[in-house]
Structure 1
């Protein structure tokens, strides 16, 4: 498949999923139902996050990267309540990485800190150098996405933010090919489409929906 046809096919897939997502997605205060601008929260995301929190890979993790997506805001809050350190980016990585440490942020502020409007007030801005020196290792990376197939290949908004976040953290040595990755989506966002990913695509080891957990074998990693 040529690059132009590949991108066209991915666009068709996104639009097909977005038409179904409109029935279960929660509108964003800034972008309403413009799924090309944000990753939506959805009916059933709490159940999906419960499934995720039951996984040993989450329970054993001490430091998590959790993307700034609407569907996993509740998970960021939960992780802080579970005593885990959370690394998150600002939306679009515009203002870099922020560290949410439950030992530093008081408990009554954890929920606000887990939100995009609150993390910059209660979290700590960290450079890549500071991440490398202070965290040493990120145990788990979690993201939302526009759609994903059963082989763990994501079809996001088309901006590649999670791939870039992975690449940045890989470059400084805090993640590697053994670092587990999880996508949280509504069941309608899981596809049977089979596509060959591009070299920078970062696949997911687990797909967690409001109905089930799918474990993926042989997931590709951008590096």
Structure 2
């Protein structure tokens, strides 16, 4: 699969991104300069803690995670709970595009090991063909609607990661896709466009919401996904 395909960003999705970024800065929920990034929002640890209340979290032994700072607390909690974390290499910049974080073989505390800068110093990189089925996918997102449809920052990395895993049969109806976001990132817009993925549930410091039905987590490997939550 070509990881360098140009990913189109529709004007409606970009408008929503810009509105969310502006609202987060206006309410001091992020540091200035968030535009163009997955928001590292205040309350990320509380959102991660709410995620750990889900049955899907408790049942998961393998977690695929994005490398963004907003999801750092979640990755640390997963490692502390004994879950194996497969974290995407930023920008999918290596031939083997995922770090494997084995909770039984960490050279430092989980809170440190979960940072992508630290993982790069000790964690082996692996290809999807070397990975087991994934129980839980945690997506970084800019916006999520009540039906679990997410929008990232527009680079398309989450979609590519899911497509790579789907090609190997590692995600499917058994996989739960979630997002941790700030309440200001929850929007009412219809986000179901090409290049979006659906998160089954979203978790914020203030609330946790689930769509009326669980959407299948099977990306279309041609470059769009049938469902989807600061994309990288």
TM-score, normalising length from structure 1? 0.86
Specify the alignment match of 1:124 in structure 2: 124
| Root mean square deviation, CA, Å | 1.7
The structure richer in helix per residue is 1
Q: Partners in 1 of 2:216 and 2:171 — Cα distance?
A: 14
Deviation larger for 71-80 or 6-15: 6-15
Q: 1:3 corresponds to which residue?
A: none
Question: Which residue number corresponds to residue 18 of structure 1?
Answer: 21
Aligned match of 1:204 in 199, 208, 215? 199
Following TM superposition, by how much is the alpha carbon of 1:218 offset from its aligned partner in structure 2, in angstroms? 4.3
**2:151–2:197 CA contact under 8 A, matched in 1:** no
- Counting matched residue pairs gives 207
Structure 1: how far apart are the matches of 2:67 and 2:171?
18
User: Is residue 13–residue 191 contact of structure 2 (8 Å, CA) maintained in 1?
Assistant: no
Shift of 1:164: 1.0
Deviation for aligned residue 1:153: 1.4
The corresponding residue for 2:103 is: 102
Q: Deviations over 1:15-56 (max 9, x none)?
A: 1111011134443xxxx61431x3121111111111001111
- Is 1:169 matched with 2:165? yes
- 2:134 counterpart residue number: 138
Match runs of 1:47-126 below 5 Å: 47-95=46-94, 96-106=97-107, 108-126=108-126
Contact between 2:143 and 2:152, CA under 8 Å: does it hold in 1? yes
> Which of the numbers 168, 190, 193 marks the counterpart of 1:194?
190
What is the TM-score when the length of structure 2 is the normalising length?
0.83
Deviations 1:84-140 (A, max 9, x none): 10000121211211000011224x332222001101112111122222xxx2x1100
Q: Distance in 2 between matches of 1:25 and 1:66?
A: 22
Task: Determine helix, strand or coil for the equivalent of 1:177.
Answer: coil
Greater Cα shift, 90-99 or 75-84: 90-99
The unaligned stretches of length 5 or more in structure 1 are: 1-5
Describe the superposition over 1:124-165 as per-residue Cα deviations: whole angstroms up to 9, x where unpaired.
Answer: 11122222xxx2x11000012011111211121111111111
CA displacement at 1:58 relative to structure 2: 0.3
